[in-house]
């Protein structure tokens, strides 16, 4: 075989190899492509994690209506329709998640508060016991707020008298899992 014939065989092998690579690549491309056409969505309920208050508290973006993540976002609250229409914005002061066994001392959270500053306490609990919330530093010296430990949340607005604002959580009759958030209203 001459040099010219060898060059032709090499050229034919090179062209055949290139064609085989192109055909193999095209086949792979079509097999790897995502499916087109109508897709069926499969939705199944899944258990949610977290406390009952996490599932109840959401913040909505006023521009697009989307739900904002996390409890650190600003929460806008609207007063009752019978009251004068005034929007309030809540800024988180503290959040507490604890287990109270009912035998130990009460859980006390404290914050420095200016006189006539309004606060919103959102509290919920689960468990066999009962929870009572009391305040000091509000000037009213009222009785405690009883909270049913069914997972539902209770809200109360308090006005500080100046100085430290203390919130006490007392469990009686068994243990409770507490979830509470205090926010300053503006």
Q: What is the dihedral of CA 137, 149, 73, 43, to 10 degrees?
A: 180
8 A C-beta contact, residue 168 and residue 97: no
22 φψ region: left (φ > 0), alpha (ψ -120 to 50), beta (else)? alpha
Residue 56 CB: number of other CB atoms within 10 A? 13
pLDDT of residue 186: 76
In this model, does residue 100 exceed pLDDT 80? yes
Per-residue pLDDT tens over the stretch 80-95 = 666 555 556 778 899 9
Task: Give CA–CA dist 133/149, Å, rounded.
Answer: 12
Q: pLDDT band at residue 114, thresholds of 50, 70 and 90?
A: confident
pLDDT of residue 148: 87
Range with the largest mean pLDDT of 63-77, 81-95, 162-176: 162-176
Domain ranges of the chain: 1-33, 52-185
Query: pTM for this one?
Result: 0.53
Greater model confidence, 55 or 13: 13
Out of 2.102.10.10, 2.60.120.380, 3.40.710.10, 3.90.1150.10, the CATH code matching 52-185 is 2.60.120.380
Q: Which ranges of the chain does DSSP label H, i.e. alpha helix? A: 3-32, 52-56
Q: What is the dihedral of CA 57, 71, 161, 158, to 10 degrees?
A: 0
Per-residue pLDDT tens over the stretch 119-154 = 899 999 999 989 999 998 887 766 788 988 888 888
Lowest mean pLDDT among 15-19, 25-29, 38-42, 148-152: 38-42
In this model, does residue 109 exceed pLDDT 80? yes
Report the relative pairing of strands 75-78 and 67-68 from DSSP bridges.
unpaired
């Amino acid at each position: 075989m001459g040099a010219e014939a060898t060059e032709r065989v090499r050229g034919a092998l090179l062209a055949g190899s290139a064609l085989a690579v192109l055909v193999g690549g095209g086949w792979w491309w079509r097999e790897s492509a995502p499916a087109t056409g109508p897709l069926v969505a499969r939705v199944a309920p899944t258990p949610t994690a977290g406390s009952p208050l996490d599932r109840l508290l959401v913040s909505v973006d006023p521009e697009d209506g989307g739900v904002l993540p996390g409890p650190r976002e600003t929460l806008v609250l609207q007063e009752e329709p019978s009251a004068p229409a005034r929007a309030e914005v809540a800024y988180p002061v503290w959040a507490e998640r604890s287990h109270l066994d009912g035998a130990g001392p009460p859980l006390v959270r404290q914050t420095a508060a200016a006189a006539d500053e309004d606060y919103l306490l959102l509290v919920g609990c689960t468990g066999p016991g009962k929870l009572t919330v009391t305040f000091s530093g509000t000037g009213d010296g009222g009785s405690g707020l009883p909270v049913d430990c069914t997972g539902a949340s209770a809200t109360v607005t308090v006005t500080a008298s100046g100085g430290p604002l203390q919130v006490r959580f007392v469990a009686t009759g068994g243990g409770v899992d507490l979830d509470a958030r205090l926010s300053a209203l503006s």
